[in-house]
Amino acid sequence: MEVVWTRVGAYALCRDGARILLSRFAALDHPDHGKWTMPGGGMEWSESARETAHRELREETGLTATLGGVAGVFSRWFTAQESARGESGHLVSIVFHASELSGELRKEFDDEDTTDAVQWFPIDDVEALPHVELVDFVLELASGGLPPKPWRLSDWCLSMTSARTPVPPGSFESL
């Protein structure tokens, strides 16, 4: 199968005790419109993954944070039939631990935003929300468990850790 696109994104895992911060995706022509996701998004040219996570967190939520180590790497292959683009591709999402959050949580959004809401949720309530697959992956990480199938860490990550384990704190600090 030919891979037509690759999208690399970076996300912030923001926790406040038993709560997790989520943002709601807004793009009327996309199948994930209205679903909750992690604060974060696609890398822009010349950004590091860490810079992307910082920028996206600030843009989507209004908050800033100290980013720690990599919590995990979500990797998902899409066939043309599964992809919103109608073409086969690969999504890689790097999730960072976030702490020391500061700022005011955004309450207003405009039509140009791909986020239309940001909210703290009790972790136990998140499964019942409409959400993207990345959220399931992060919930497993947050609970200390291993991500369930169909998630596989990318090959370069597997070479650094045992199969299907979260990336140890402090790994890939240069990301």
pLDDT in tens, 104-149: 999 999 888 899 999 999 999 999 999 999 999 999 988 876 555 4
User: Per-residue pLDDT for 157 more than 70?
Assistant: no
* Mean pLDDT for the stretch of residues 37-45: 97
Give the model's confidence band at 150: pLDDT under 50 very low, under 70 low, under 90 confident, else very high.
very low
Predicted pLDDT at 141: 87
Predicted pLDDT at 174: 41
Record: fold of 5-158 = Nucleoside Triphosphate Pyrophosphohydrolase (3.90.79)
**What's the one-letter identity of residue 170?**
G
Averaged confidence pLDDT in the chain: 85
Predicted pLDDT at 13: 97
Three-state SS at 46: coil
Torsion angle of the four alpha carbons 99, 71, 119, 100, in this order, in degrees rounded to the nearest 10: 0
Give the model's confidence band at 167: pLDDT under 50 very low, under 70 low, under 90 confident, else very high.
very low
Higher pLDDT pick, 107 / 151: 107
Indicate the range of 28-42, 90-104, 108-122, 148-162 predicted with least confidence: 148-162
**Among the listed residues 73, 74, 51, 101, the one whose alpha carbon sits nearest the alpha carbon of residue 168:** 73
Cis preceding-peptide flag for 150 (omega within 30 of 0)? yes
Domain residue extents for the chain: 5-158
Residue partners of 6: CB distance under 8 A and separation at least 6: 89, 90, 91, 92
